[in-house]
């Protein structure tokens, strides 16, 4: 009786909305697995902002290569596909416990997927995957002026302030040349001090220059698409990529399509001449004979992913042969594929 309650404690949290039980009723549930594809799309979100003096960049800095308007856009950086095993709600079964049935001794794991008969639960081994956790965004420089002379601060004119900022840029450049050539009255005393002074001068020049050329911020983000195979497909649009929105839905024509191809040989099945008759008080526990499918993902020109993967949901159901077993037997089932791995006959006690 303790064994029954242990199994129920694991299985009941895995109920789907379509399944209901009567309070106080003893029932067992088990699920078979299915494979879904987790498509991780790594993109760069680029944000451009014009500098407050961009209109005077050619006049004072002799450059027209500047940002003139606010703009955001996405750049595709990387695509990866990770197969993931989850329980299949469409293949979740309910069993009424019966001491005469071997089905009473099913074992499931924490996800509610069948592991076998009279065996310990098996955990699904998940490969550790390195994910991008660092926000690779460039630091945005605040668009504020470094200290200007009183002449420019009191001018009250944008063009006059732009002129002062440009003169300060040229002054920094001249000072850097003097520093590198050693033509300064107060030279740094050592290499570390020289390096620190050079870094500070470069930072000041960059901050002032961006008042004319503008700033660009690049942030790396990952957008995820989940695709669950239900059949073979040819050039199925999994998602689209838009430079304005990043990853968009497959039916959103604003983006460029990315295609998924799944091909496999279906398992041939025949209907039995006579339906199988179960023994009194006996129920069947199903496993899966899964299929191996060739999965290819491409952008229409280049193959981005190709592998042979096991897809349980496209396989056929096969009952565990209880006729060859007794209460001392063990049946091992793979929670990743749903396949019956082996039947072990233990000595009778």
Q: pLDDT per residue over 152-165, tens digit each?
A: 555 567 888 888 88
Final residue before a domain boundary, out of 161, 193, 213: 213
Asked whether residue 112 is domain-assigned, the answer is yes
209 lies in the same domain as 226 = no
180 lies in the same domain as 239 = no
Asked whether residue 122 is domain-assigned, the answer is yes
What is the pTM for the complete model shown?
0.71
pLDDT at 137 > cutoff 50: no
Number of domains in the chain: 2
Q: Which two tokens stand for residue 29?
A: 């549930």
Euclidean distance between CA atoms 127 and 138, whole angstroms: 31
Asked whether residue 55 is domain-assigned, the answer is no
H or E segment to which residue 246 belongs: strand 246-248
* Domain hosting residue 209, numbered range: 144-213
281 lies in the same domain as 328 = yes
116 lies in the same domain as 161 = no
- The three-point CA angle 156-162-163 to 5° equals 100
Final residue before a domain boundary, out of 194, 213, 232: 213
154 lies in the same domain as 245 = no
86 lies in the same domain as 181 = no
Asked whether residue 233 is domain-assigned, the answer is yes
206 lies in the same domain as 245 = no
pLDDT at 135 > cutoff 60: no
243 lies in the same domain as 321 = yes
Task: Please tell me which of 17-31, 130-144, 197-211, 326-340 the model is most confident about, judged by mean pLDDT.
Answer: 326-340
Q: Count, in order, helices (H) and strands (E) of the chain.
A: 5, 12
């Amino acid at each position: 009786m303790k064994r029954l309650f242990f199994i129920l404690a694991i299985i009941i949290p895995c109920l789907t909305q379509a399944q209901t039980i009567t309070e106080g009723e003893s029932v067992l549930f088990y699920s078979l697995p299915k494979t879904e594809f987790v498509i991780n799309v790594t993109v760069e979100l680029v944000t451009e902002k014009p500098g407050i003096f961009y209109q005077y960049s050619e006049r004072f800095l002799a450059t027209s290569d500047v940002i003139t308007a606010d703009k955001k856009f996405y750049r595709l950086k990387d695509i990866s596909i990770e197969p993931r095993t989850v329980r299949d709600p469409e293949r979740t079964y309910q069993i009424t416990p019966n001491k005469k049935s071997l089905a009473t001794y099913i074992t499931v794991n924490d996800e509610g997927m069948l592991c076998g008969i009279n065996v310990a639960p098996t955990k699904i081994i998940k490969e550790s995957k390195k994910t991008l956790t660092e926000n690779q965004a460039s630091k945005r420089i605040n668009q504020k002026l470094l200290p200007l002379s009183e002449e420019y601060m009191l001018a009250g004119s944008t063009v006059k302030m732009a002129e002062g900022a440009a003169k300060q840029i040229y002054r920094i450049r001249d000072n850097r040349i003097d520093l590198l050539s050693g033509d300064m009255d107060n030279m740094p005393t050592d290499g570390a001090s020289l390096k620190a002074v050079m870094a500070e001068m470069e930072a000041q020049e960059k901050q002032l220059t961006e008042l004319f050329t503008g700033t660009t911020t690049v942030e790396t983000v990952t957008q995820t698409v989940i695709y669950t195979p239900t059949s073979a497909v040819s050039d199925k649009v999994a998602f689209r990529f838009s430079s304005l929105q990043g990853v968009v839905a497959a039916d959103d024509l604003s983006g460029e399509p990315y295609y998924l191809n799944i091909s496999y040989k279906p398992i041939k099945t025949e209907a039995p001449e006579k339906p199988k008759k179960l023994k009194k008080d006996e129920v069947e526990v199903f496993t899966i004979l899964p299929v191996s499918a060739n999965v290819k993902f491409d952008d229409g020109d280049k193959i981005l992913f190709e592998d042979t993967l096991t897809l349980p949901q496209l396989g056929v159901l096969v009952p565990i042969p209880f006729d060859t077993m007794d209460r001392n037997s063990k049946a091992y089932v793979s929670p990743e594929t749903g396949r019956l791995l082996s039947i072990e006959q233990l000595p009778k006690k």
